[in-house]
Structure 1
Amino acid sequence: MRRLLFLGLMAIVPVVLTIYVIIGIFEFADNFLGKFINRYLATYFGYTFPGLSIIITFLLILFVGMLVRISRMRLLKAIEAFFSKLPLASKIYFPIKKIVEFLFLNSEKKFKEAVLVEYPRKGVYSLGFITNRADKNFEKRLNKNFYNVFIPSSPSPLTGFMIVVPEEEIIFLNISIEEAISLIVSGGLLNPQDLK
């Protein structure tokens, strides 16, 4: 019975939370623009259109994305420069930007491979992701190949830290980036074989 309860929770909780977040986003968009749009429609046309603000918000987001693309990211850089000059706003804007980038950019493109590295001490291993080859200066000075490895925090891989590791000290894993992220997010509860 306990196992059935657990399986039921596993099936229902992610669905309910996903629906809750999506409804929350739509309600926020509807409340944010809906008041103004519906007031205008009621005044001039005598009716309201529930949900129109969601469509307008979606189109506005697409329009801003198009402007950023046309300006070759100059618009985004200008926005970042503006917020970086505001002490309090920069502390809010940049962490939110990082979260949005992590959620909406394909992590498989950001991370090259899932690996294990002996860290933070001998005999203890951390799951990480190779992000790139290390700077050539490391390799020239120490005469070894080095990689930049991102060690994410668990259960939220939005934060973490980067370490530079010699190639011979990296254990390359035969799991996908998605499987490794699931392992981190679940706090080790979901192993790659559990996902298949």
Structure 2
Amino acid sequence: MLRKYFITGLLILVPLAITFWVINSVIGTMDQSLLLLPPEWRPENLLGRHIPGVGTILTLLIIFLTGLLTRNYVGNYVVAGWESLLNRIPIVNSIYSSVKQVSDTLFSSDGNAFRTAVMVQYPREGMWTIAFVTGAPSQQVQQHLTGDYVSLYVPTTPNPTSGFFLMVPKADVIELDMSVDVALKHIVSMGVVAPENHSATKH
């Protein structure tokens, strides 16, 4: 009986603890943006104490203003000049261009990356896992492949931020009728949180 109560308590408190830990980590990281302000403008000097979350608001405001300012001709000109400068710096240019390509793919409203959850046989035939379509192989890679292929990201469990990149025949991929959020919950929970009954079709 005591074991049953203990497990019930764990099931309630562990998700709450992890949630608060993640939120606290995110807020703590975003609060570092306060270092951009002059010392006399920071909350600990103005109000006499540190207030968690002020940096988060500042970070969101900076992101919003950056997006607002770069939506016009002058802003686009400044961004183009900044990117041109970064592209001339060795090492920095390769890191920046790679990160920018990934972010453009993931956050672009018209992009297809991580928009589709699929099933694929991995790591061997007869074993299935959930993956996400990230696009198609590059032209240079495609010329060495026979047939139509798709690029997939196979996340690990319970940490979906690490995983494997695969290029598989499109005919071997089964598209799932579930959202990416639902598929991620299924992966993170190691199959404990089952998605609703949906149909699956060939991709």
Alignment of 1:67-146 (within 5 A): 67-70=69-72, 71-72=75-76, 75=79, 78-79=82-83, 82=86, 85-87=89-91, 110-132=113-135, 138=142, 142=146, 144-146=147-149
2:8 match = 4
Unaligned runs of 5+ in 1: 43-47
Unaligned runs of 5+ in 2: 197-203
- The offset of 1:76, in angstroms, is 7.0
Distance, in Å, in 2 between the alignment partners of 1:24 and 1:7 is 26
Aligned residues between the structures: 183
Cα 1:149/1:66, change in 2 over 3 Å:
same
Alignment of 1:11-90 (within 5 A): 11-25=15-29, 27-30=31-34, 32-33=36-37, 35-38=39-42, 48-49=46-47, 54=55, 57-70=59-72, 71-72=75-76, 75=79, 78-79=82-83, 82=86, 85-87=89-91
- The offset of 1:14, in angstroms, is 3.7
* TM-score, scaled to structure 1: 0.62
| 1:127-168 deviations in Å (ceiling 9; x for gaps) | 2112335568959x73x4432222234444334443232232
User: Percent identity among equivalent residues?
Assistant: 24
Cα 1:125/1:18, change in 2 over 3 Å:
same
Please report the RMSD computed on the Cα atoms of aligned residues, expressed in angstroms: 4.5
Contact 1:118 1:126 in 2 (8 A): yes
Distance, in Å, in 1 between the alignment partners of 2:193 and 2:173 is 23
2:195 match = 192
* TM-score, scaled to structure 2: 0.61
1:181 match = 184
